[in-house]
Structure 1
């Protein structure tokens, strides 16, 4: 069997059935897109700022010949909840950074040991243009909301990449099927999704999923969090391709029961031990305990319309946001 077949067979044995390949030089035509976004202030703090590095995979691995792009589905079937608070679906289970890296490392080891190749893994915030890569090799197409939309799992997928020095035939892109649909554009509360050509003017800096993670959050954004303590799924929830999308079979992404029934009082009052036990190993844990508590007191005010009396807030960081909420409200309970 050729390298491609062996790698795809190995991935399938680990529950991964969307695995595509792209020659490294195929990323070079994305420079103008990133240059435009950089010049117009549309790149956020998590993105690689060096356009040359970002558009050329060989800066990340000099001897690389092929990029392997893999989709990791994460949506599980969950019952509707009466809970007033929520988080984005991607943070209901284990931290995807760790999970995806674990799978990619396993595949990388297979390439090194069984196929005799060199390999390097990449997860999320890295120098590679992962959605562009996934689009070019047919993992999915890029929707108007900038998400990769796969045929089987919709947009509820994480992406991971492996660079290898093995010379593997590339795959073809698939047709973009968004057509005239404007569901995500019209549903986006902040107009971060604007329907621009090739999404070049979409602004992740005003996306709620991004702003909910900002360490310094302007008061203007408080109402936009609504009842979500972390992230936003609005543009994905309204996407037609997610209506009948298959659920994930990756057990690490199965939701933690307490994440489906969020207790706002417990979250606001949690100590370091409770944070480490419940949230440290989730995707929402990387910013630390106090940012989650900050979002919780903001969401509490959004949901109930009042600011509760909380004189026992120990963190100066959280207290500063609590005080800002008080200034915008005339009464406390």
Structure 2
């Protein structure tokens, strides 16, 4: 193998040329605090319906157990900074607010292809074995990113960097190569509470703690069935994910422009009309969101979310749309439609 430091310098250079905004290295065992934090999260019930978090706690809590042969973890960050104000749409209640990351192509596909190219380069240069992960395996990416020095886990639990803010996807390359490790980043949140105070549903019981059961991203994407009525009104017009805590972070003044144009928002997804989204049938939904992460939740959950937004809109002109779905074949959609009618009447 080439000199470790030289190889790592070239690896970082290659990663940046691929479009990643940062590349750092840690060891799989550099996150000893994760098992305790994960166990506390699950024991508190904060994971909600995400049973897979409890089922895979051993792997998710110990990256070294995921692949015992791995000696290094290359952590990558890829910017998806929006070119528009992601919170402006909240002032237009007849329009839908869709999380920035979902306004175009599915990042899983884009990041994984970039990771694979980087991993192939690494093998060609130094041999060894590699495995790449991006948000679809039990890997504690945020904790590893913190340990590698990409950034630190902020009070909203997302990774924050002084160099690129918090608009970034994380990916990892596990390798059997023994690469020089970087220093972990220190916390720079200070006394700031911007991300905590902006949350519409008070999803943070304390700084650095998230109760997913109250998080709008969880409620609109992961939660199956009807959402508790106490929370429906707080969703506003957010129909897929929520960017409030990310957008509030003052470190975004250093945000880096996205290098891949496929992250740029589709014009029809920046502020689409609720009336047009509510009437999508399964085929129409699949066609509109082909290649989008939104497709994963399916038409029923998506329309359920749209109906909550219609109920929150105060726009009586949307009443016929909601009335037309009160007998929908999906119970959660029909329930959401009836609730929306009640709110508008």
Query: Does the pair score TM above 0.5?
Result: yes
Indicate yes or no: 2:176 matched with 1:207: no
Greater alpha carbon shift after TM alignment, 212-221 vs 155-164: 212-221
Residue number in structure 2 paired with 1:219: 229
One of 322, 329, 340 as aligned partner of 1:316: 329
User: Cα offset for 1:312?
Assistant: 4.4
Provide the aligned length of Structure 1 versus Structure 2: 327
In structure 1, C-alpha distance between the alignment counterparts of 2:338 and 2:296, rounded to whole Å: 25
The residue matched to 1:163 in structure 2 has which SS?
strand
Call closer, same or farther: CA 1:29–1:298 in 2, change over 3 Å: closer
User: Cα offset for 1:244?
Assistant: 4.2
**CA contact 1:47–1:125 (8 Å) conserved in 2:** no
**CA offsets 1:173-204 (integer angstroms, 9 cap, x no match):** 222111011112222222212334xx2x4312
In structure 1, C-alpha distance between the alignment counterparts of 2:191 and 2:173, rounded to whole Å: 34
User: Cα offset for 1:259?
Assistant: 0.7
1:1-333 aligned within 5 A: 2-44=6-48, 45=50, 48-49=53-54, 50-78=56-84, 83=92, 84-196=95-207, 199=208, 201-213=209-221, 214-216=223-225, 217-306=227-316, 308-310=319-321, 312-313=324-325, 315-317=328-330, 318-326=333-341, 328-329=342-343, 331=345
Greater alpha carbon shift after TM alignment, 154-163 vs 55-64: 55-64
In structure 2, C-alpha distance between the alignment counterparts of 1:283 and 1:323, rounded to whole Å: 28
User: Cα offset for 1:296?
Assistant: 1.2
**CA contact 1:16–1:72 (8 Å) conserved in 2:** yes
**CA contact 1:187–1:234 (8 Å) conserved in 2:** yes
Greater alpha carbon shift after TM alignment, 213-222 vs 87-96: 213-222
**CA offsets 1:115-160 (integer angstroms, 9 cap, x no match):** 3121111111421111111111110111101110022321111111
RMSD (Å), alpha carbons: 2.2
Higher helix share: 2
Q: Please give the TM-score of this superposition, normalised by the length of structure 1.
A: 0.90
In structure 2, C-alpha distance between the alignment counterparts of 1:4 and 1:270, rounded to whole Å: 49
| Consecutive unaligned residues in structure 1, runs of 5 or more | none
Q: Please give the TM-score of this superposition, normalised by the length of structure 2.
A: 0.87
**CA contact 1:136–1:172 (8 Å) conserved in 2:** yes
| Consecutive unaligned residues in structure 2, runs of 5 or more | none
**CA offsets 1:16-57 (integer angstroms, 9 cap, x no match):** 130110012212342222222222222340753243322222
Greater alpha carbon shift after TM alignment, 44-53 vs 62-71: 44-53
The residue matched to 2:30 in structure 1 has which SS?
helix
The residue matched to 2:320 in structure 1 has which SS?
coil
Call closer, same or farther: CA 1:29–1:17 in 2, change over 3 Å: same
Call closer, same or farther: CA 1:215–1:280 in 2, change over 3 Å: farther
